[in-house]
Amino acid sequence: MDIEDLANRVIGGERRALARAITLIESGRADHRAMAVELGKKVSGTGRQALRLGLSGTPGVGKSTFIEAFGMMLVEQGLKVAVLAVDPSSARSGGSILGDKTRMELLSRNRNAFIRPSPSQSQLGGVARRTREVVSLCEAANYDVVLIETVGVGQSETMVAEMSDLFLLLLAPAGGDELQGVKRGIMEIADLILINKADGALKPVANRTCADYSGALRLLRKRLEDPKDFPKAMTVSAVEGNGLELAWEEMNTLADWRRENGFWEARRARQARHWFEEEVRMGLLARLTKSGEMRDHMNRLGERVAMGDLAPAAAADEMLQRLGALE
């Protein structure tokens, strides 16, 4: 495969080249990985800085309808929109919207939109690392907005937040006994909470839910990187299109403020460093468990530690000594 040529085609905005490049990034083969790294180097620093939007919402909140409506609004404004997903394999059958492009019929057919389902790897960490690389490819291909969605299983939101400039949480109206509550950890990373389905009979419930979450957000300590009134909760209706423009305005207000106050670049720099260190750590761990023997040993020690049979530090010491003997 000619990586130079592929890089140029990606930068030139060829959708098929982008799709092929992503397949390369997602491949588990060692030679493909080397080519993917090469490709990453070639496209690095080209293209534009997209707005990277993380989006979480459980099945049933109308996430695909929201992405369809929100994405169409953006492409109609002349923007190029990429939609990616970070879902652990186990969650795939549970209703990941991107497995089913037909639910975003208009957007998936629009030439200024690019939709890609989650890479199918068994480890969530692996899925996230590869998606992080795909985000860079989309920027090289001059996408203006990269939306990274997750159904929010396990630690997936935290990982998506680590590759996003802004994080959106989509909720359905609910009150009293129906109230499921948001997953722990999410309220902490959300920049904007959107209560969807604020239409018809659900509108008053949506307003109440919105007020509840506004109140809860006020109980959280202000982050330095948040301007006044952020994070905030607001209502939208993906079906009727209400509130989408306003939500987009709010995102830009927040993004502009962070850019002007230095938080934007600082966040991106911190994130890039995080992924670098993560890659090094995972690479080292992969070496450690490359041999079946080492992997078995690590698992056996882990079992003994879990049973309280061996102290964590002593087990780690044993593992590291074993590794030393191997070198």
Using CB under 8 A as the criterion, which residues of the chain lie in contact with a second copy when the complex forms? Answer: 36-37, 40-41, 44-45, 129, 132-133, 136, 179-185, 187-189, 212-213, 215-216, 218-223, 268-270, 272-273, 275-281, 283-285, 287-288, 298, 301-302, 305-317, 319-320, 323, 327
Q: Which is nearer to a second copy, 140 or 236 (CB)?
A: 140
Nearest to 33 by CA among 221, 312, 212, 283: 283
- Of the pair 44, 77, the CB lying nearest a second copy is at 44
Tokens 């890479």, located at residue: 119
Spatial distance between the Cα atoms of 121 and 28, rounded to a whole number of angstroms: 9
Task: Tell the smallest beta-carbon distance from residue 46 to a second copy (Å).
Answer: 11
What is the C-alpha separation between 36 and 25, in angstroms, rounded?
Answer: 5
Rg of the chain, C-alpha, whole Å = 21
In a 3-state reduction of DSSP, which class is residue 282? helix
| Residue with smaller CB distance to a second copy, 75 or 171 | 171
Give whichever of 132 and 258 is closer to a second copy, judged by the CB atom.
132
Structure tokens at 30: 């060692």
Cβ atoms of 161 and 223 within 8 Å: the answer is no
| Residue 152 buriedness (CB in 10 A; 0-12 / 13-18 / 19+) | buried
Provide, rounded to whole angstroms, the least separation between the CB of residue 69 and a second copy. Answer: 26
Which is closer to a second copy, CB of 245 or CB of 277?
277
- Check: CB of residue 197 under 8 Å from CB of residue 205: no
What is the token pair recorded at 34? 């080397």
CA angle 267, 275, 217 (to 5 degrees): 45
What is the nearest approach in angstroms of a second copy to the Cβ of residue 277? 7
| Bridge partners for 263 per DSSP | none
CB of residue 133 to a second copy, shortest distance in Å: 6
Distance CA 147, CA 170 (A): 13
Report helix, strand or coil for 63.
Answer: helix
DSSP letter at 242 equals B
Q: Which is nearer to a second copy, 78 or 181 (CB)?
A: 181
* Angle CA 281–287–291, to nearest 5: 145
Contact 76, 144 (CB under 8 A): no
Structure-token pair, residue 210: 């919105």
CA–CA separation, 293 and 64 (whole Å): 45
- Shortest reach from residue 322's CB to a second copy, in Å: 11
Q: Which is nearer to a second copy, 252 or 321 (CB)?
A: 321
- In the numeric block, the tokens 């009979």 are attached to 201
User: What's phi and psi for 146, nearest 5 deg?
Assistant: -115, 115
- Looking at the Cβ atoms of 112 and 258, the one nearer to a second copy is 258
Q: How far is the CB of 271 from a second copy (least distance, A)?
A: 9
| CB of 105 vs a second copy, minimal distance in Å | 31
Q: How far is the CB of 44 from a second copy (least distance, A)?
A: 5
Could you tell me the smallest distance in angstroms from the CB atom of residue 228 to a second copy? 13
Q: Nearer to a second copy by C-beta: 70 or 213?
A: 213
